[in-house]
């Protein structure tokens, strides 16, 4: 739930960049970049959350495999958008990079917070 709220909080950054670029058709670019970044990062966050209480081997397999899968997925989506010419590619790539970076920061922060909480719980036991 917190991930979704923080992700929605990142939306004003897109609206600011939307205003700075141009207006009109670029709302589609904004929505597409935000949606793709959100779904990709949310899937990674959920996979990592699932793997937290598993063995170290399982956790690292999910973590590294998930990262590789997400990179391949993003590259595939970029190629599809580029060849289908759905939206202006430069603005799409800029917004996708901004959102992906913001969502990645949120994901790392949440995982780090969970690790700290888990360490505190292990110490008190």
Per DSSP, helices labelled H in the chain are 2-9, 11-21, 26-51, 56-84, 89-124
The string of pLDDT tens digits covering residues 53-67 is 888 888 888 888 988
Q: Determine the straight-line distance between the first and last CA of the chain, rounded to whole angstroms.
A: 27
pLDDT of the residue at 12: 62
Cα–Cα distance measured from residue 58 to residue 100, given in angstroms and rounded to the nearest whole number = 25
pLDDT of the residue at 79: 93
Instruction: State the average pLDDT for the chain.
Output: 79
pLDDT of the residue at 73: 92
Give the DSSP letter of residue 52: T
Query: Which residue shows structure tokens 């589609």?
Result: 28
Question: Is residue 22 predicted with pLDDT exceeding 70?
Answer: no
- Domain definitions of the chain by residue range: 12-124
Cα–Cα distance measured from residue 120 to residue 125, given in angstroms and rounded to the nearest whole number = 9
pTM score of the predicted model: 0.72
State the Cα torsion 25-29-31-37 to the nearest 10°: 180
The string of pLDDT tens digits covering residues 30-79 is 778 888 888 888 888 888 888 888 888 888 888 889 889 988 999 999 99
Cα–Cα distance measured from residue 51 to residue 59, given in angstroms and rounded to the nearest whole number = 5
């Amino acid at each position: 739930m917190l991930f979704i709220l923080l992700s929605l909080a990142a939306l004003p950054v897109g609206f600011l960049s939307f205003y700075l670029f141009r207006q009109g058709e670029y709302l589609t670019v904004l929505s597409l970049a935000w949606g793709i970044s959100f779904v990709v990062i949310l899937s990674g966050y959920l996979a990592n959350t699932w793997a937290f209480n598993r063995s170290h081997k399982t956790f690292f397999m999910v973590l590294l495999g998930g990262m590789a899968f997400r990179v391949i997925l993003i590259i595939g989506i970029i190629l599809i958008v580029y060849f289908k010419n759905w939206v202006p590619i430069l603005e799409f790539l800029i917004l996708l990079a901004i959102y992906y970076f913001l969502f990645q920061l949120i994901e790392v922060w949440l995982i780090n917070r969970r690790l700290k909480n888990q360490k505190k719980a292990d110490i008190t036991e």
